[in-house]
Structure 1
Amino acid sequence: MATPIYEFAQLPHVAKQASAGPRPDAKRRVRAPGEAPCVGVIYNPRSHGNQGADFDCGMSPHVHISQPGDRSQLPDALSEFAARGIDLLVINGGDGTVRDVLTCGASIFGADWPAIAVLPKGKTNALTVDLGVPGDWTLQHAIDAFDKGGRIHRRPIAVTPQGDAPDSHVMGFIMGAGAFTTATKSGQSAHRLGAFNSMAVGVTTAWGVLQWFFATRNNPWRRGSRMTLRLGAQQAEMEHSGHGDPAWRQLLFASTLETMPAKIKPFGPLRKGLKLVVLDQVSRRSTLLIPSVLRGKAPARLRERGIHQITTPQLILEIDDQFILDGEAFPAGQYRIAQGPELEFVTP
C-alpha cells in the first residue's frame, strides 16, 4: 500500500488449496437473528480522501479495523479477519488499495470471499463508479447496506507472470499498456493540478487524443509499445490492421468493469467479462474516430482502421515495456491475463 509492487516474486504466493475454499483455520460463524454483521475494515490512511482524516475505531465491537503500514502487513490483517469469520470486508481506500487487498487476500479467502464494500477514498475510484457508490459513502452506510442495500458481482482481472514466480498473481480492475502507460503518468500530473476521479480521466483522455492527432510516430502517445497478444485457450495471435509497425500496438486497455469513469464507453456495446480495446498505430484520420468510440458509437470498419474491441476469456501478453494495473506500473515480460474469482460487492 505504501510501496510499489514491481516484482512478482515479492508477492504472496497463492496457496494450492485456495481455489477449494478458505484457509483451514478460518472460523465459520452463523449470524443469530438480528445480530450485527462481523465487519473487517482495511483502512489506508495514505489514500487521497483519507489524508488528515481521523477514523472512528470504537463504533462497534463487531467492527475490527486494521491500518497496515505497507503491503507486507496486509496478509496478517486479512488472515485475522478470516479467522474471525467476518461477514463483510470494507476497503477504505482507492483502486490501488483494492488491488492490494484482492492480491493479498487470494491465498487467504480463496473462492470463499466475504461480501466486500469499498469506500471511495482514492484519486480515481473507478470500481466505485461501476458499483454506483456515492462519493460520500461512509463505513456506517456500508454496514447498513449489508442487509438493506444491493449486491453486484464482478470478477477482477488476474495477471500471472509466465516463467518466474508462476504461483503469484495480482488482481485489479483496469489494465493498460502502450499509450495507457503514458496516460497514467500524465494523469499523475492532473492529480497534482487538482483533478481527480472522472475529471482526471476526462482531462487525460482529451490530452491523449490531441497527442494522437498532432504528434509524430516517435511520440510515446502514438508509438505505443512492442507487444504480442495471443487470445483464448488456443492462444491465437490477435489480428493486426496493417497500420503502422505490426510488432507494436499504440494502446491496450482492458477491464472487467461495466461502467467507466467520465461516462466513457471504450468497449462499445461489450459489457460482460474481460473486455479489450486495442489500437494499432492508427492514422491521424482514424484518430478523429476516437471521440465517437469513447461515446460508445461504432463507426463502420473499425478493425480495418486499427481499432479493435473484443472480449476473451483469457490472453497471453508479451510486452517489452511496463504495463499498468490500477494505477501502478509492472515490469516488461510475458503474462497470462484472465478473470479472477467472482466477488460480491455491497452497494447502496
Structure 2
Amino acid sequence: MRLALIHNPRSRKNRRDGRKFARQASDLLGDGFLVPSSHDEMQEMVTELARRNVPLVAINGGDGTVSDVMTAIARIYPEDALPDIAIFPSGNTNLIAQDIGFSTRGIEALKLLYRNSAVLPRKTRRPLKISWPEGEHETRLGMFQGSSGYARAIAIAHSPHVLRYAPHNLAVAATLIGAFASLLWRRQRETWLAGDPLTLEVDGTPLVDGQSFLFLSTALQKLNLGIWPFWNTGKVRTGDLHFLRVADHPKKLLQATWALLRGRAPAWLRESPDYTSGKASELVLTCQGDFVLDGERFSPGASHRIVLSEGPEFGFVHD
C-alpha cells in the first residue's frame, strides 16, 4: 500500500457530500480507505499503516482531525520514517490546509494525489508539540494554539448561532471582531481587558509575568484571509514557532487588531510593551484557563503549565 486516506465523516463539509466521496474513495483505495469511529480505532489503524510502512497518508477533515492523525503518527511511526501527509480541507476550520494542504477536496483531489503523488509539490514543517510537564496527558501535535482571550473567542465561534450563519473560517474572524467590539459594553469590557495571569518563558528566558489579554502560537507560515498577527521584535529570532502575547488593558487595541487582521505590524505596534511577538524553539506557558489547539479545547492541568516546542519534521504534499 503506497497511499492510505483517513476520512472523518463528521467534518463539516463531509456531512454534505461524504457518502458519495466514501464510495468512490473506497473503490479507488480498497483497504487503504479508513474511517475510524474513535480515537482508539484510529490508533489501531495507524499502527497497521506503520507495520506496512505506508509512505503517504491523506487526511480528509478539518484541523482537529489533522492534529489527531499527526499525533497518532508521531506516537507510532519511527521518527526517522514518518510518512508524508496530504490534507483535504473538509472541516470546520482549515487553517492547516490553507498553508500546507490541498486547495481542492473530494474525489478530484484524491485522484490527483493517487496518480501524481511522486511529482506533486512538498513542504516540510515541524508542528507544535504540546506536552504537560506533570505527565497528566500524552503529548499532542498541532499547528495553531491560543490561550486567554483567544479561547473565549473560539468558544463563541463554536456556538450554534454563529456556525449556523457562516462558515467557520469566516465565523472566527467575525467573532474576533465582535469580541473586540464587545469592549464597548461596560459589563463585558473589564472581564475581557483584564485577561488572565500568564507567564511565558522563551527558549529558557523569562519574558512575560503578568495579566494577559491574549496569547497565540503557531507553526504555520500563513493564515486565512491574509491575517498574520506575528512579527519579530528583534529580541527573539530562534526556531520556527511564532508567538504573540497581548498584555491586559492594551493601548490602541482596535488599531492593533485592524493592522494585524491585514497582516501588518506598524512600527508603533512593534515598539509597544503591550504587544510582544517573536520566534522560538520552545515556549513554556503558564495560564489557568483552558487553551485551544486547532479548534479543540484542552486543560493545562493542575499546574496550569504546558510546554510548546518543535515537533518532528513532516513532509506535506499539496497541489
TM superposition score category, shorter chain reference: 0.7 to 0.9
What secondary structure sits across from 1:247 in the alignment? strand
Q: What is the identity, as a one-letter code, of the residue corresponding to 2:140?
A: V
Q: What is the identity, as a one-letter code, of the residue corresponding to 1:257?
A: L
Q: Aligned-residue CA RMSD in angstroms?
A: 2.4
What secondary structure sits across from 1:51 in the alignment? helix
Q: Distance in 1 between matches of 2:122 and 2:48?
A: 25
How many Å apart are 1:199 and its aligned residue? Answer: 1.6
Q: What is the identity, as a one-letter code, of the residue corresponding to 1:114?
A: P
Q: TM-score, normalised by structure 2?
A: 0.87
Pairing 1:207-226 to 2, within 5 Å after superposition: 207-212=178-183, 219-226=190-197
Paired residues in the alignment total: 303
Query: Is the CA contact 1:213–1:287 (under 8 Å) kept in the aligned structure 2?
Result: no
Q: Structure 2, unaligned stretches of length 5 or more? A: none
- Please say if 1:81 is aligned against 2:49: yes
In structure 1, which of residues 110, 116, 132 is the aligned counterpart of residue 85 of structure 2? Answer: 116
What secondary structure sits across from 2:92 in the alignment? coil
- Cα-to-partner distance string for 1:32-87 (whole Å, 9 max, x where unaligned): xxxxx611111111111111521024433576122111112111100111122212
Pairing 1:142-291 to 2, within 5 Å after superposition: 142-165=113-136, 168-189=138-159, 191-212=162-183, 219-232=190-203, 235-239=204-208, 247-268=210-231, 273-283=240-250, 285-291=252-258
C-alpha change, 1:136 and 1:175, in structure 2 (3 Å) is same
How many Å apart are 1:213 and its aligned residue? Answer: 5.5
In structure 1, which of residues 272, 285, 304 is the aligned counterpart of residue 272 of structure 2? Answer: 304
Greater mean deviation of Cα atoms: 195-204 or 174-183: 195-204
What secondary structure sits across from 1:257 in the alignment? coil
Query: Is the CA contact 2:242–2:278 (under 8 Å) kept in the aligned structure 1?
Result: yes
What secondary structure sits across from 2:117 in the alignment? helix
Q: Distance in 2 between matches of 1:258 and 1:175?
A: 14
Q: What is the identity, as a one-letter code, of the residue corresponding to 2:40?
A: S
- Please say if 1:342 is aligned against 2:313: yes
What secondary structure sits across from 2:37 in the alignment? coil
What secondary structure sits across from 2:252 in the alignment? helix
Q: Structure 1, unaligned stretches of length 5 or more? A: 1-36, 240-245
What secondary structure sits across from 1:80 in the alignment? helix
Q: TM-score, normalised by structure 1?
A: 0.80
Q: What is the identity, as a one-letter code, of the residue corresponding to 2:151?
A: T
How many Å apart are 1:141 and its aligned residue? Answer: 2.5
Match of 1:293 in 2: 260
C-alpha change, 1:159 and 1:48, in structure 2 (3 Å) is same
Q: Distance in 1 between matches of 2:188 and 2:178?
A: 16
Query: Is the CA contact 2:100–2:318 (under 8 Å) kept in the aligned structure 1?
Result: yes
C-alpha change, 1:227 and 1:316, in structure 2 (3 Å) is same
Question: Kindly, what percent of the aligned residue pairs are identical?
Answer: 25
Query: Is the CA contact 1:213–1:284 (under 8 Å) kept in the aligned structure 2?
Result: no
C-alpha change, 1:159 and 1:58, in structure 2 (3 Å) is closer
**Which structure features the higher share of helix residues?**
2
C-alpha change, 1:206 and 1:196, in structure 2 (3 Å) is same
How many Å apart are 1:298 and its aligned residue? Answer: 2.3
How many Å apart are 1:305 and its aligned residue? Answer: 4.4
How many Å apart are 1:227 and its aligned residue? Answer: 1.6
Q: Distance in 1 between matches of 2:58 and 2:211?
A: 40
